[in-house]
Protein backbone atom coordinates (compact mmCIF):
# COMPACT_ATOMS: atom_id res chain seq x y z
CA UNK A 1 0.00 0.00 0.00
CA UNK A 2 1.45 3.38 -0.97
CA UNK A 3 0.96 5.82 1.90
CA UNK A 4 1.38 9.58 1.62
CA UNK A 5 2.56 11.06 4.95
CA UNK A 6 2.28 14.84 5.41
CA UNK A 7 4.47 16.57 7.99
CA UNK A 8 7.15 13.98 7.23
CA UNK A 9 9.97 16.17 8.53
CA UNK A 10 8.24 16.61 11.90
CA UNK A 11 8.66 14.50 15.04
CA UNK A 12 5.80 12.13 14.32
CA UNK A 13 6.23 12.17 10.54
CA UNK A 14 9.77 10.89 10.72
CA UNK A 15 8.72 8.14 13.15
CA UNK A 16 5.91 7.10 10.80
CA UNK A 17 8.28 6.90 7.84
CA UNK A 18 10.65 4.76 9.89
CA UNK A 19 7.83 2.49 11.13
CA UNK A 20 6.38 1.92 7.68
CA UNK A 21 9.75 1.54 6.02
CA UNK A 22 9.66 -1.87 4.39
CA UNK A 23 6.04 -2.46 5.30
CA UNK A 24 4.88 -0.68 2.17
CA UNK A 25 5.77 2.18 -0.06
CA UNK A 26 5.67 5.33 2.04
CA UNK A 27 6.10 8.82 0.60
CA UNK A 28 6.79 11.69 2.97
CA UNK A 29 6.05 15.33 2.12
CA UNK A 30 6.58 18.51 4.09
CA UNK A 31 6.50 22.27 3.60
CA UNK A 32 9.24 22.37 0.91
CA UNK A 33 7.11 20.01 -1.22
CA UNK A 34 4.16 22.40 -1.06
CA UNK A 35 2.26 24.55 1.41
CA UNK A 36 -0.85 22.55 2.25
CA UNK A 37 -2.62 25.74 3.30
CA UNK A 38 -2.58 26.90 -0.31
CA UNK A 39 -5.49 25.93 -2.48
CA UNK A 40 -4.40 23.34 -5.01
CA UNK A 41 -1.47 21.85 -3.05
CA UNK A 42 -3.46 18.91 -1.68
CA UNK A 43 -4.73 17.88 -5.10
CA UNK A 44 -1.35 18.45 -6.70
CA UNK A 45 0.37 16.18 -4.13
CA UNK A 46 -2.30 13.54 -4.56
CA UNK A 47 -1.86 13.57 -8.34
CA UNK A 48 1.92 13.57 -8.14
CA UNK A 49 2.18 10.65 -5.70
CA UNK A 50 -1.02 8.68 -6.38
CA UNK A 51 -1.20 7.23 -2.84
CA UNK A 52 -3.60 4.54 -1.65
CA UNK A 53 -3.82 6.04 1.87
CA UNK A 54 -3.04 9.46 3.37
CA UNK A 55 -1.77 10.02 6.91
CA UNK A 56 -2.06 13.74 7.61
CA UNK A 57 0.41 14.63 10.38
CA UNK A 58 1.35 18.14 9.16
CA UNK A 59 0.04 20.87 11.42
CA UNK A 60 0.66 24.32 12.83
CA UNK A 61 1.87 22.96 16.18
CA UNK A 62 3.22 26.05 17.97
CA UNK A 63 0.46 26.40 20.57
CA UNK A 64 1.49 29.84 21.86
CA UNK A 65 2.37 31.39 18.48
CA UNK A 66 -1.03 30.30 17.16
CA UNK A 67 -2.72 32.77 19.53
CA UNK A 68 -1.17 35.66 17.58
CA UNK A 69 -1.45 33.95 14.20
CA UNK A 70 -4.97 32.46 14.11
CA UNK A 71 -5.48 32.83 10.36
CA UNK A 72 -2.39 30.80 9.52
CA UNK A 73 -3.20 28.21 12.21
CA UNK A 74 -6.70 27.84 10.78
CA UNK A 75 -5.42 27.62 7.20
CA UNK A 76 -3.00 24.81 8.11
CA UNK A 77 -4.97 22.87 10.73
CA UNK A 78 -8.53 23.16 9.45
CA UNK A 79 -8.60 24.35 5.80
CA UNK A 80 -5.72 22.15 4.58
CA UNK A 81 -7.29 19.20 6.38
CA UNK A 82 -10.59 19.84 4.59
CA UNK A 83 -8.87 19.92 1.21
CA UNK A 84 -6.95 16.70 1.83
CA UNK A 85 -9.95 14.91 3.31
CA UNK A 86 -12.15 15.93 0.37
CA UNK A 87 -9.50 14.73 -2.10
CA UNK A 88 -9.45 11.36 -0.36
CA UNK A 89 -13.23 11.08 -0.28
CA UNK A 90 -13.58 11.93 -3.97
CA UNK A 91 -10.82 9.46 -4.89
CA UNK A 92 -12.31 6.84 -2.57
CA UNK A 93 -9.12 6.62 -0.46
CA UNK A 94 -8.73 6.10 3.28
CA UNK A 95 -7.67 9.19 5.25
CA UNK A 96 -6.04 9.35 8.68
CA UNK A 97 -5.87 12.65 10.57
CA UNK A 98 -3.57 13.10 13.56
CA UNK A 99 -5.19 15.19 16.26
CA UNK A 100 -4.63 16.26 19.82
CA UNK A 101 -5.75 16.20 23.45
CA UNK A 102 -6.01 20.01 23.14
CA UNK A 103 -9.46 19.59 21.55
CA UNK A 104 -10.62 19.16 25.19
CA UNK A 105 -10.83 21.81 27.89
CA UNK A 106 -9.22 19.63 30.55
CA UNK A 107 -11.91 20.26 33.16
CA UNK A 108 -12.67 16.55 33.70
CA UNK A 109 -10.13 14.98 36.09
CA UNK A 110 -11.18 11.51 34.86
CA UNK A 111 -10.00 12.30 31.33
CA UNK A 112 -11.73 11.87 27.98
CA UNK A 113 -12.93 8.93 25.94
CA UNK A 114 -13.15 9.16 22.15
CA UNK A 115 -16.78 10.35 22.08
CA UNK A 116 -16.35 13.17 24.61
CA UNK A 117 -17.50 16.57 23.47
CA UNK A 118 -14.78 18.74 21.91
CA UNK A 119 -14.27 21.95 23.88
CA UNK A 120 -10.93 23.50 22.95
CA UNK A 121 -9.44 26.36 24.95
CA UNK A 122 -7.12 28.10 22.49
CA UNK A 123 -6.49 28.74 18.80
CA UNK A 124 -4.41 25.60 18.27
CA UNK A 125 -7.01 23.34 19.91
CA UNK A 126 -9.88 25.11 18.15
CA UNK A 127 -8.32 24.80 14.70
CA UNK A 128 -7.44 21.13 15.29
CA UNK A 129 -11.00 20.49 16.50
CA UNK A 130 -12.28 22.18 13.34
CA UNK A 131 -9.91 19.95 11.35
CA UNK A 132 -11.54 16.92 13.00
CA UNK A 133 -14.97 18.23 12.06
CA UNK A 134 -13.83 18.73 8.45
CA UNK A 135 -12.69 15.09 8.31
CA UNK A 136 -16.03 13.88 9.60
CA UNK A 137 -17.96 16.14 7.24
CA UNK A 138 -15.93 14.98 4.22
CA UNK A 139 -17.07 11.45 5.04
CA UNK A 140 -15.63 8.33 3.43
CA UNK A 141 -13.13 6.03 5.09
CA UNK A 142 -11.60 8.19 7.83
CA UNK A 143 -9.75 7.87 11.11
CA UNK A 144 -8.97 10.60 13.63
CA UNK A 145 -6.09 9.55 15.89
CA UNK A 146 -5.67 11.83 18.91
CA UNK A 147 -2.42 11.80 20.81
CA UNK A 148 -0.66 13.94 23.42
CA UNK A 149 2.64 15.18 24.86
CA UNK A 150 4.83 13.72 22.11
CA UNK A 151 8.54 13.10 22.58
CA UNK A 152 11.03 11.28 20.41
CA UNK A 153 13.81 11.70 17.88
CA UNK A 154 13.93 15.19 16.45
CA UNK A 155 15.60 18.51 17.16
CA UNK A 156 13.40 19.60 20.06
CA UNK A 157 11.03 18.14 22.61
CA UNK A 158 10.35 18.35 26.35
CA UNK A 159 12.88 15.62 27.21
CA UNK A 160 15.72 17.41 25.44
CA UNK A 161 14.72 20.75 26.98
CA UNK A 162 14.74 19.35 30.53
CA UNK A 163 18.10 17.64 30.00
CA UNK A 164 19.62 20.85 28.59
CA UNK A 165 18.28 22.99 31.45
CA UNK A 166 19.60 20.49 34.00
CA UNK A 167 23.05 21.10 32.54
CA UNK A 168 22.65 24.87 32.66
CA UNK A 169 20.93 25.48 36.02
CA UNK A 170 21.05 24.08 39.54
CA UNK A 171 17.25 23.78 39.75
CA UNK A 172 14.30 24.26 37.46
CA UNK A 173 10.62 24.85 37.99
CA UNK A 174 8.08 22.82 36.06
CA UNK A 175 4.30 23.07 36.21
CA UNK A 176 2.72 20.50 38.50
CA UNK A 177 -0.94 21.24 37.80
CA UNK A 178 -1.28 19.99 34.21
CA UNK A 179 -1.86 16.28 33.73
CA UNK A 180 -1.63 14.30 30.52
CA UNK A 181 -0.21 11.24 28.79
CA UNK A 182 3.36 11.46 27.48
CA UNK A 183 3.69 9.58 24.21
CA UNK A 184 6.77 8.28 22.43
CA UNK A 185 6.46 9.07 18.73
CA UNK A 186 7.81 5.66 17.55
CA UNK A 187 5.25 3.89 19.79
CA UNK A 188 2.48 6.02 18.29
CA UNK A 189 3.71 5.19 14.78
CA UNK A 190 3.47 1.50 15.67
CA UNK A 191 -0.13 1.96 16.88
CA UNK A 192 -0.94 3.77 13.63
CA UNK A 193 0.30 0.76 11.69
CA UNK A 194 -1.88 -1.54 13.81
CA UNK A 195 -4.93 0.67 13.19
CA UNK A 196 -4.34 0.56 9.44
CA UNK A 197 -3.78 -3.22 9.51
CA UNK A 198 -7.06 -3.66 11.41
CA UNK A 199 -8.79 -1.29 8.96
CA UNK A 200 -10.03 0.67 11.97
CA UNK A 201 -12.42 3.56 11.36
CA UNK A 202 -13.56 6.41 13.60
CA UNK A 203 -11.83 8.19 16.47
CA UNK A 204 -8.92 6.63 18.38
CA UNK A 205 -6.93 7.74 21.41
CA UNK A 206 -3.33 6.63 21.05
CA UNK A 207 -0.88 7.44 23.85
CA UNK A 208 1.57 5.55 26.00
CA UNK A 209 -0.07 4.04 29.09
CA UNK A 210 -0.31 6.08 32.27
CA UNK A 211 -0.75 9.75 33.04
CA UNK A 212 1.41 12.26 34.87
CA UNK A 213 2.12 15.95 35.35
CA UNK A 214 4.84 17.89 33.52
CA UNK A 215 6.61 18.14 36.89
CA UNK A 216 6.62 14.37 37.46
CA UNK A 217 7.55 13.80 33.83
CA UNK A 218 10.54 16.13 34.26
CA UNK A 219 11.57 14.36 37.48
CA UNK A 220 11.50 11.01 35.69
CA UNK A 221 13.62 12.49 32.88
CA UNK A 222 16.14 13.68 35.48
CA UNK A 223 16.14 10.34 37.30
CA UNK A 224 16.69 8.35 34.11
CA UNK A 225 19.37 10.79 32.95
CA UNK A 226 21.40 10.35 36.14
CA UNK A 227 20.46 13.73 37.67
CA UNK A 228 18.89 14.33 41.08
CA UNK A 229 15.10 14.61 40.55
CA UNK A 230 14.89 16.88 43.61
CA UNK A 231 16.39 19.61 41.40
CA UNK A 232 13.04 19.74 39.58
CA UNK A 233 10.75 21.99 41.62
CA UNK A 234 6.99 22.21 41.22
CA UNK A 235 5.22 25.40 40.22
CA UNK A 236 1.70 26.42 39.20
CA UNK A 237 0.52 27.22 35.70
CA UNK A 238 -0.68 30.57 37.06
CA UNK A 239 2.92 31.47 38.02
CA UNK A 240 4.04 31.17 34.39
CA UNK A 241 1.34 32.65 32.16
CA UNK A 242 1.62 31.71 28.49
CA UNK A 243 -0.27 33.23 25.52
CA UNK A 244 -2.35 30.03 25.15
CA UNK A 245 -4.40 28.47 27.92
CA UNK A 246 -3.72 24.75 28.25
CA UNK A 247 -6.03 21.99 29.49
CA UNK A 248 -5.44 21.16 33.16
CA UNK A 249 -6.17 17.47 32.69
CA UNK A 250 -6.20 16.07 29.18
CA UNK A 251 -5.88 12.34 29.82
CA UNK A 252 -6.90 10.48 26.66
CA UNK A 253 -8.75 7.30 27.64
CA UNK A 254 -9.16 4.54 25.09
CA UNK A 255 -11.93 2.12 24.22
CA UNK A 256 -11.77 2.08 20.44
CA UNK A 257 -8.23 0.74 20.05
CA UNK A 258 -9.21 -2.18 22.25
CA UNK A 259 -12.35 -2.77 20.18
CA UNK A 260 -10.22 -3.34 17.04
CA UNK A 261 -7.83 -5.67 18.89
CA UNK A 262 -4.90 -3.32 19.59
CA UNK A 263 -3.31 -4.55 22.82
CA UNK A 264 -2.03 -2.51 25.77
CA UNK A 265 0.49 0.21 25.00
CA UNK A 266 3.82 0.41 26.89
CA UNK A 267 3.92 2.75 29.87
CA UNK A 268 5.30 6.23 29.28
CA UNK A 269 8.08 5.52 31.81
CA UNK A 270 9.22 2.46 29.87
CA UNK A 271 9.05 4.38 26.60
CA UNK A 272 11.03 7.24 28.13
CA UNK A 273 13.67 4.74 29.23
CA UNK A 274 14.01 3.46 25.66
CA UNK A 275 14.33 6.99 24.30
CA UNK A 276 16.94 8.01 26.86
CA UNK A 277 18.90 4.81 26.23
CA UNK A 278 18.84 5.67 22.53
CA UNK A 279 20.00 9.23 23.24
CA UNK A 280 22.91 7.80 25.21
CA UNK A 281 24.16 5.91 22.17
CA UNK A 282 26.42 7.53 19.68
CA UNK A 283 23.83 8.72 17.18
CA UNK A 284 26.44 8.55 14.45
CA UNK A 285 26.66 4.79 14.88
CA UNK A 286 22.95 4.33 15.37
CA UNK A 287 21.11 6.38 12.79
CA UNK A 288 17.34 6.31 12.41
CA UNK A 289 14.52 5.89 14.85
CA UNK A 290 15.00 3.45 17.74
CA UNK A 291 12.83 0.50 18.65
Ligand X SMILES: NC(=O)c1ccc[n+]([C@@H]2O[C@H](COP(=O)([O-])OP(=O)(O)OC[C@H]3O[C@@H](n4cnc5c(N)ncnc54)[C@H](OP(=O)(O)O)[C@@H]3O)[C@@H](O)[C@H]2O)c1
Cβ proximity to ligand X: between 60 and 142 the closer is 60
Find the catalytic residue in 97, 124, 184, 275: 124
CA separation, residue 22 to residues 3, 16, 218, 278 (Å): 12, 12, 35, 22
Residue 260, interface with ligand X (CB under 6 A)?
no
Residue number of the CB closest to ligand X reads 10
Q: Please, are residues 205 and 252 in contact by the beta-carbon 8 Å criterion? A: yes
Q: Please, are residues 166 and 228 in contact by the beta-carbon 8 Å criterion? A: no
Type and span of the H or E element at 171: none
CB of 226 to ligand X, least distance (A): 25
Residue 9, interface with ligand X (CB under 6 A)?
yes
Cβ proximity to ligand X: between 11 and 257 the closer is 11
Cβ proximity to ligand X: between 67 and 231 the closer is 67
Residue 46, interface with ligand X (CB under 6 A)?
no
Instruction: Count CA atoms within 13 Å of residue 168 on its CB side.
Output: 7
CB of 209 to ligand X, least distance (A): 16
Name which of 184, 144, 140 is nearest 277 in CA terms.
184
Main-chain phi, psi angles of 246, to 5 degrees:
-120, 150
Query: For ligand X, which residue of 10, 28, 94, 106 counts as binding (CB under 6 A)?
Result: 10
Q: How far is CA 240 from the centre of its chain?
A: 24
Which residues, 73 to 132, sit near ligand X by CB under 6 A? 76, 80, 98, 100, 128
Q: How far is CA 142 from the centre of its chain?
A: 17
Q: Please report how the helices 80-90 and 41-49 are oriented relative to each other, as an axis angle in degrees rounded to 10.
A: 40
Residue 7, interface with ligand X (CB under 6 A)?
yes
Residue 149, interface with ligand X (CB under 6 A)?
yes
Report how many residues bind ligand X under the rule CB under 6 A: 25
Query: Has 124 been annotated as catalytic?
Result: yes
Cβ proximity to ligand X: between 74 and 169 the closer is 74
CA–CA distance, 188 with 271 (Å, rounded to integer): 11
Residue 218, interface with ligand X (CB under 6 A)?
no
CB of 150 to ligand X, least distance (A): 4
CB of 102 to ligand X, least distance (A): 7
Cβ proximity to ligand X: between 152 and 200 the closer is 152
User: Which residues are CB-contacts of 2 (< 8 A; sequence separation ≥ 6)?
Assistant: 24, 25, 26, 27, 49, 50, 51, 52, 53
Q: Please, are residues 36 and 85 in contact by the beta-carbon 8 Å criterion? A: no
Cβ proximity to ligand X: between 49 and 231 the closer is 49
CB of 138 to ligand X, least distance (A): 17
CB of 228 to ligand X, least distance (A): 27
CA–CA distance, 92 with 104 (Å, rounded to integer): 30
CA–CA distance, 23 with 9 (Å, rounded to integer): 19
Residue numbers at the binding site for ligand X (CB under 6 A): 7, 9-13, 30-31, 35-37, 57-61, 76, 80, 98, 100, 128, 147-150
Query: So which residues are the catalytic ones?
Result: 124
Amino acid sequence: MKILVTGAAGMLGRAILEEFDGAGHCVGVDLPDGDLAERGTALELMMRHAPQHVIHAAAYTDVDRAEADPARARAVNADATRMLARCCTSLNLPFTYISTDYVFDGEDPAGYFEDAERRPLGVYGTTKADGEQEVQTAGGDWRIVRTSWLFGPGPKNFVLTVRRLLEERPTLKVVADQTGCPTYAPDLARVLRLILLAKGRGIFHATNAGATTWHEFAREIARRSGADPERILPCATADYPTPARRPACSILRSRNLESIGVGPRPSWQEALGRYIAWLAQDEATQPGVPT
